[in-house]
Structure 1
Amino acid sequence: MSRSQLQILVQLAKIDGVVSQDEIDLIRQVGKANGLTEEDIATAFDETHEVGNLADLTDDEKYEYMYRVVQLMKIDGRLYKEEITYCAKMASKMGYNEDVLYHLITKIYSDPHVSADKDALKKKVQKYLIKD
């Protein structure tokens, strides 16, 4: 994961006008798990980056992104129209049919323990990738 990719999560966290501590903690956790330093993560909150070509990500990376952005939307317990619109655009840029977002939201919001069945969810989500 690059800093610009982490920026997608930061932009989503900022979209409702308030970045909660839970959102910050999740973004830090994701950044650290992907080899970014504390400085890289802090910089992502301070800078605005142009989102790169998300279509170049591997299918696994695309899934992880979609999973993380929906998880981040869930963290404050509320869904905002702006968040959904932003995530739908990200899904489209990654090559997903935008319906993938609603599938993920339904699964992740309804099952707080979805991480236990993350591989099965991944197989279902990959069906939403639009193949040329």
Structure 2
Amino acid sequence: MENIRTQLSLLITLANSDGEFHERERQVIERVARSGDISQEELELLIKQPDPIEGLDKMPYDDRFDYLYNVILLMKADSVIQDSELLFCQKIANSLGFQLAAFMELYPHVHINMKSPEELRMMRKKLQDYHVD
């Protein structure tokens, strides 16, 4: 549960980074919350007061990949990409142990429509080349 709260706090922080919490961003956040069994009430509290974002460098690789994927997905959700969002995503990628090349590699493959599990597995494997512990 702690892991999903951190991921949600990260996504909420990104959604707020451009000064506008767009409805499509909220939908992505709600989807992540549902997948982690976070109640609507708990999510609303997190939206009002996100948890501090820490310990990203201590997570398993698969969690780091999921975080990076979801951060990029959220950034693209409203079809308007602000410089502040790009900088935030790049900073998070770095905090997760990914080189900038990983962000650039993954970016064009992330779409609001979910990818097949096989496509995600292939991207997860490919990005390992850009991950440093």
TM-score (norm 1): 0.89
Find the partner of 1:82 among 81, 84, 87: 84
Letter in 2 for 1:99: A
Say whether residues 1:21 and 2:20 are aligned partners.
Answer: no
Counterparts of residues 93-132 of structure 1 (less than 5 Å): 93-108=95-110, 115-116=115-116, 117-131=119-133
Check 1:33–1:47 CA distance in 2 against 1; reply closer, same or farther (3 A cut). same
Q: 1:107 touches 1:114 (CA, 8 Å); kept in 2?
A: no
TM-score (norm 2): 0.88
Shift of 1:54: 0.2
Check 1:25–1:118 CA distance in 2 against 1; reply closer, same or farther (3 A cut). same
Measure, in 2, the Cα distance between the counterparts of 1:45 and 1:114. 24
Find the partner of 1:8 among 10, 13, 25: 10
Deviations 1:61-82 (A, max 9, x none): 0010111111111111122111
- The number of residues matched between the two structures is 129
Moved over 4 A (4+): none
Q: How well do the aligned residues superpose, as a CA RMSD in angstroms? A: 1.6
Measure, in 1, the Cα distance between the counterparts of 2:97 and 2:65. 11
Instruction: After superposing the two structures, state which structure 1 stretch, 67-76 or 46-55, moved more.
Output: 46-55
Q: Where does the alignment leave 5 or more consecutive residues of structure 1 unmatched?
A: none
SS of aligned partner of 1:2: helix
The share of aligned pairs that are identical, in percent, is 24
* Residue 48 of structure 2: aligned partner: 46
Q: 2:12 touches 2:50 (CA, 8 Å); kept in 1?
A: no
Measure, in 1, the Cα distance between the counterparts of 2:94 and 2:125. 18
